[in-house]
């Protein structure tokens, strides 16, 4: 019983801010497996940022210790036939698993996502909010993955939907995927 309580408590601690327990787990990695298995990815979408290099530290400006705004992203190699894009930002190092910081869909075919912007329809993150919530690890340094999907459709999904609903709507529509990851640890 004690071990079960300890395990449950460890899974619930993902940040020092309010967290919605119902959205702790997402299935982004499962969606990736499905796409690779059926060969639906036609090319690699390139995602870069002028704010940080892949694998480098994310500036505090984009975190809970700064302005808590989304960083700018540049998108290249968007495939022909793209009707919309999806951006999902996760912390795979969170104690509870793949913690969702932001989910946005129906981003129209663009070559960049501006800093401090709302580029499409926003879903519910693991905090239970429909907004960007930047990196804010409870301890240590965590990785934060900004994953962009190019789709052959515009999604019929309401604002505030959960990531699992988003992923279900995306199934069969992903043309390409790309990502950039940064690290952040609180001082």
* Banded pLDDT at 31 (limits 50, 70, 90): low
pLDDT of residue 158: 97
| pLDDT (tens digit per residue) in 40-74 | 455 689 999 999 999 999 999 999 999 999 999 99
Tokens encoding 119: 């580029």
- Domain extent at residue 108: 25-185
* Banded pLDDT at 148 (limits 50, 70, 90): very high
| pLDDT (tens digit per residue) in 84-108 | 999 999 999 999 889 999 999 999 9
Q: Residue 13 domain-assigned?
A: no
Contact in structure between 100 and 26 (CB atoms under 8 Å): yes
Q: Indicate which CATH number applies to the domain containing 93.
A: 3.90.280.10
**Average pLDDT of every residue of the chain:** 84
pLDDT above 70 covers a percentage of the chain that reads 77
Q: What gap in Å lies between CA 136 and CA 151, rounded to an integer?
A: 30
DSSP assignment, residue 57? B
Q: Residue 9 domain-assigned?
A: no
Res. 157: pLDDT tops 70: yes
Q: Residue 4 domain-assigned?
A: no
* Banded pLDDT at 37 (limits 50, 70, 90): very low
pLDDT of residue 16: 42
pLDDT of residue 12: 35
Q: Residue 165 domain-assigned?
A: yes
Q: What gap in Å lies between CA 11 and CA 180, rounded to an integer?
A: 26
Q: Residue 30 domain-assigned?
A: yes
Q: Residue 127 domain-assigned?
A: yes
Tokens encoding 1: 């019983």
Domains held by the chain: number: 1
């Amino acid at each position: 019983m004690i071990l079960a309580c300890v395990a449950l408590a460890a899974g619930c601690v993902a940040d020092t801010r309010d967290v919605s327990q119902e959205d702790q787990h997402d299935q982004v990695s499962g969606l990736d497996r499905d796409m690779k298995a059926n060969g639906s990815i036609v090319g690699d979408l390139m995602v870069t940022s002028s704010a940080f290099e892949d694998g480098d530290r994310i500036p505090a400006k984009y975190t809970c210790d700064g302005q808590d705004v989304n960083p700018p992203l540049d998108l290249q190699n968007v495939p022909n036939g793209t009707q919309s894009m999806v951006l999902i930002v996760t912390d795979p190092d969170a104690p509870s698993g793949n913690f969702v910081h932001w989910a946005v869909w129906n981003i129209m075919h663009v070559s960049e996502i501006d800093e401090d912007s709302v580029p499409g329809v926003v879903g519910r993150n693991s905090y239970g909010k429909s907004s960007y919530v930047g990196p804010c690890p409870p301890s240590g340094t965590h990785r934060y993955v900004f994953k962009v999907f190019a789709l052959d459709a515009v999604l019929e999904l309401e604002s505030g939907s959960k990531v699992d609903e988003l992923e279900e709507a995306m199934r069969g529509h992903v043309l390409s995927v790309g990502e950039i990851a940064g690290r952040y640890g609180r001082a």
